């Protein structure tokens, strides 16, 4: 299968649904062999089946990014299945935990803080990059792409641990870029704004600080595919912002506050 990712082997964390699924399917469509990962086997197998039906190459491995041994094993399984690893996409995040623990920072328990940071930063980026590193260093055109959030650069009430973890993703990515230079490993971040679960056109601007329509998963998949491909060979240590203009819009915070108030 030809395309901008031909000859690449990609491991995509959290790729059984939403943004991760679109990333996995798009990288496969562009020619990469893709390891689809997540906690739900049935969902993962459906993604693999869709990729294969479209003529792509993929397999599934169960992954829990809060378990270091699980991360290590999935990296090894990917290399064993496809003969190497060129592309690591750190997409997983404990979204259910984040959504269920929205409150002022002082009310978070240490256990809640640790769960969010482990799932978002420690396991998803640190462990994954640590165990993928020797394989990426042995590959040609290796790349790490990590998914961040607008919360990495803007403050939102109730999301302290998640915002801190996503800001950490950007800082760690810059370190990976510097350390990876001698090994031919590039590292970049995609900073994501609000994205709806469905695909295709998400409609027009409807507030919430965006200057365009609400995002859809393919908007992010296209950004990831660019950074992961050799077309971005001169790009490392960078943040590609795909947020519909939220982060540059002076009205964004006010709109976000209004949306939060309307949501009750």
Spell out the alpha helix ranges (H) of 63-159.
Answer: 68-82, 95-100, 110-117, 128-137
The answer to whether residue 131 is catalytic is no
Q: Are 38 and 61 in contact (CB under 8 A)?
A: no
240 Cβ contact list (under 8 Å, min separation 6): 188, 189, 190, 191, 223, 226, 227
Question: CA 150, CA 191: separation in Å to the nearest integer?
Answer: 6
Q: In what order do the strands lie in the sheet with 57-62?
A: 57-62, 33-38, 9-12, 87-90, 142-149, 185-192, 239-242
Write out the two tokens for 68.
């270091």
**Residue of 108, 162, 222, 226 marked active site:** 162
* Helix H or strand E segment including 42: helix 41-53
| Active-site residue set | 162
């Amino acid at each position: 299968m030809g395309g901008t990712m031909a000859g690449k082997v990609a491991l995509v964390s959290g790729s059984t649904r939403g943004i991760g699924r679109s990333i996995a399917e798009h990288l496969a469509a562009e020619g990469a062999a893709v390891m689809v990962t997540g906690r739900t086997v049935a969902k993962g197998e459906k993604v693999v089946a869709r990729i294969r039906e479209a003529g792509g190459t993929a397999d599934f491995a169960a992954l829990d990014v809060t378990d270091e041994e699980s991360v290590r094993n999935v990296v090894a399984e990917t290399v064993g299945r496809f003969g190497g690893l060129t592309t690591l996409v750190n997409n997983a995040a404990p979204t259910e935990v984040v959504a269920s623990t929205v409150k002022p920072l002082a009310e978070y328990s240490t256990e809640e803080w640790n769960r969010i940071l482990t799932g978002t930063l420690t396991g998803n980026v640190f462990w994954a990059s640590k165990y993928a590193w020797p394989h990426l260093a042995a590959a040609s055109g290796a790349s790490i792409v990590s998914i961040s959030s607008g919360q990495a650069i803007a403050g939102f009430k109730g999301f302290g641990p998640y915002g801190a973890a996503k800001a950490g993703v950007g800082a760690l990515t810059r370190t990976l870029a510097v350390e990876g230079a001698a090994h031919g490993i590039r590292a970049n971040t995609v900073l994501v704004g609000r994205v709806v679960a469905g695909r295709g056109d998400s409609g027009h601007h409807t507030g919430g600080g965006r200057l365009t329509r609400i995002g859809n998963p393919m908007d992010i998949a296209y950004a990831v595919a660019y950074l992961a491909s050799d077309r971005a060979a001169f790009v490392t240590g960078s943040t590609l912002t795909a947020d519909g203009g939220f982060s540059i819009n002076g009205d964004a915070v006010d709109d976000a506050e209004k949306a939060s108030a309307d949501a009750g």
